[in-house]
Chains A and B, each alone.
Chain A
Amino acid sequence: MLSAVVTSTMRNQVDAALALRSAGRLQEALDLLISPGEYTSDFYTVRGEIQFALGRFQEAAGSYFTVVAAEPDNTFAQYHLAICLHHLSRWGEAAETFQRVLDSDPHRDNARLGLGACLLHLHRVEEALANFDCCWSDASRWRALFGKAIALQLLGRWNEAEAAYQRLLISDPKSEEVLSNLIAMSIETHDLEAATHFSMRLLDVSPRSMTALRGLAAVALERKEYVDAVRYCGRIVDQAPDCVEAWRNLRFATDRVIALQRHEPASTAGRK
C-alpha cells in the first residue's frame, strides 16, 4: 500500500516536471526531481534529459547511470549515458557504453558513429575505420564517410582519404571541416597546389577562416612569395593576435620583402 502511494507520488512528480519542461522551465522541472522515494526508470530518465538539456552532463550521466545499473537492457538510457560521457570527453567509457548499445541494437548507426569518434580520440584508428564501414543507414551516410575519411587520413592513406573527401564535397561543397582537413592533408603531403586550391575554396565559404589563411600563408612562405605571405600573416594576426607563429612569420616575411626592396634598387643602379 505504502509502495503504491510512493509510486503514485513519484508519477505525479514526473508528470509535473514534464509539464514544466514542456513549458521551457527546465530548472524548475529539475527542482521537482531532486529526491526520489524509490527507483523508477521514468524519474531518472526524465531527470537525465533535463540535466542534459541544461548542459549538466556530469549530472545527466549520473541519472542515466542509475537507470542502466538497474536496467542493463535499457538501450535508451545506455545510449544517452554514452552521449553524456562523450560530452565529458571520457572517451574510453563512452566507447564501452556505445559498444553495449550496439551489442543490443547493432543497426543503430548513431551509436556506431559515436563509437567511431571515440575510437579516433583513443587513437584506435583501424578499429574506428572498421566501425564507420559498418554504418548502413541514409542518415549516417555522410557522417560515416566523413569518419572514414578522417581515419584514412590519420592512417596516412592519402589517396583513399582524398577520394572520400571528394565524395563528401560532392554532397556538401561548402563543408568547412572537410576543406580544412583537406588543407591539413595537402600541407602534410607537401602538395602546395592542392593546399592553395582548398584554401581558396574555404575562403570563399568562410572569408575569415583561419585554416584557409594559414594554408595560404604557409604556401606563400614555401614558395618564397613574401608579399603574399605578409598579406596573409597580417590577416591572421588581425583576427588572432595571440597567434605566435603568425607574428613570427609576419616579421620574417616583412624582413624578406624589405631586403628584396633594398636589393632591387642596388641591382638596378649596378645595371645602369
Chain B
Amino acid sequence: MNLLPISTPLGMIEPLLIVCGVGFAILLLDLVLPHSKKHWTGTIALAGVAWAFVRAVGQWGLEQRGYADMVVLDDLATLFNLLFLASTFVTILLSEPFLRSETVEQTEYYALLLFCTAGMMLLASALDLITLFLGIEVLSISLYVLAGYRRGSDASNEAAMKYFLLGAFASAILLYGIALTYGATATTNLSKIAEALTTAEAAFPAGLLLAGMAMILIGFAFKVALVPFHMWTPDVYEGAPTPITAFMSAGPKAAAFAAFLRTFFVAFGPIHGDWNMLLSVIAALTMTVGNVAAIAQTNVKRMLAYSSIAHSGYVLIGLVAGGNAGGTGAIFYLLAYTAMNLGAFAVVILLEHRGVGGDELRDYAGLGFRYPLIGATLSLFMISLSGIPPTVGFVGKLYLFGAAVQTGHIPLAVIGVLNSAVSVFYYLRLLVLMYMREPGEVLPPIRVPAAIGAALLATSVATLGVGIFPGGWMEAARQGVRALFS
C-alpha cells in the first residue's frame, strides 16, 4: 500500500516514520499486553523493520530534498538505510535468546533499538549539521540505555556510564564544532558550507573554520572509535549485552561513517587538502593500535572491540583516498564489515547462550570438531575479517587499498596490508583454539535456536557469496557515492 506519495515531505522519510511509529506502538502495546505475551513485541519489531526495508528498497534511485534542505533522500541515504535496517533485523534475531534468558524488560529494549535505528537513518539523510546532530543524539541516547541493559551486572553499568560520560563530551565537542563552523561560514547546510568555502575563499576566518572542522572531526572520531578517541570501545563492548555489542559495531558505526563521509566529502570537500594528511595519520594509527592491542586480548568481545577499531582505520583509508574510488571503497567495506562482524557476534552469542563457556578465548578450545557447522561458520567470519579470499572482507580491502594506491597513498596502503598481516595472527588464533586444541571439559550438544540460525545463514551467505560475486554490492556502493558528487 502506498500511504504516502514519495513527493510529499512525509513520503520522503517514510521508512524512518515506519520505524519510529512501530517503536511507539510497541511502547503503547506494553501497557495492554499480558506478561506472557510480551515477546510478541519482538515479532512486531521484526515485521516493522522488514516493512521499512521494503519501503526503503522502493526509494532506490530517487532523489529529493526537503524540510528546508535539511534532509535529503538520495542513493547514499537509501543504501545506508537498507544497511541499518538489515543490521537491526539481524540484531533483533540475535536478541531473542538474550532477552529470554535474562529477566529484563523486552518491550523497552525493542523500542530503544528501533529509536536508535531511526536516529541512524536521520544521520544518513542529514544534509544539515543540525539534523546531523539530532540524528547522532537520538542514536546515542538510545545506545547509552541499551549498553546498560543488564541492570544486575556491574560491567554493564560501567559500560553504560562510561559510554554516556564520554559520549556526552564528544557530542558537546561536536556541537561546539558545528557552532564554530556556523560562525565561519554563516550556514549549517552542508552544500552551502561547501559553496561558502569555494566562492568566498578569503572572506571567512580560516582559524575559526579549521577549529570548527577539527572539533567536528573529534566528534566523529569518537563515534566511530578512531585513535586516540577509541578508549571507550573495549570496556563498552565487553560490558554491554552481547547483541548490543554486535549492533554497536554494525549499524551505529556505519551511521557515523555515513555522516562523516557526507560532511567531509560535501561540506569540507573544497578544503580537502587541509584534512587529508591528518586523516591519513589517524588511519595509520587506528589500524596499528587496534590490531596490535587485539593480539594481547584474552576475551573474545574485547578482541572484537579492538578489531572493530582497526576496521574503522581501514574504512578511513577510503576517506583519505577520496573521490569516487575512495568513497565506494569505504561504503563497500562498511557493508562487508557489517555482514561478517554480525556473523562473528552471532556465533559468540550462540555459544554464550548455550552455556558453552563464556567470552574467554580459551573457552573456544576444541569447539571446531565438536560442532563442525558452528566451527566452520566462525572460521569463515574470521577468515573474512582477516581479509583472506574468497570472502567479502578480501574484496573490501582490495577495493580500499586499490583506491589508496590509485590516489598515490601507497605508504598508507602498505601500512594497511602490514596491519592485515598482523590481524591474521589473532583472527586465526580462534581457528587454532577451535581445531588444534583439546576442549577443557565435555561439551554438551547444542541446538541452534531458529532466530540465530537464520541470522547465521544470512550473514554467512553474504560473507561468502558477495566475496565471490561482489558485482552487485559494488554497483550499489558506487551508485551511493555518485549521489555525493552530483
The reply to whether chain A is a binding partner of chain B is: no
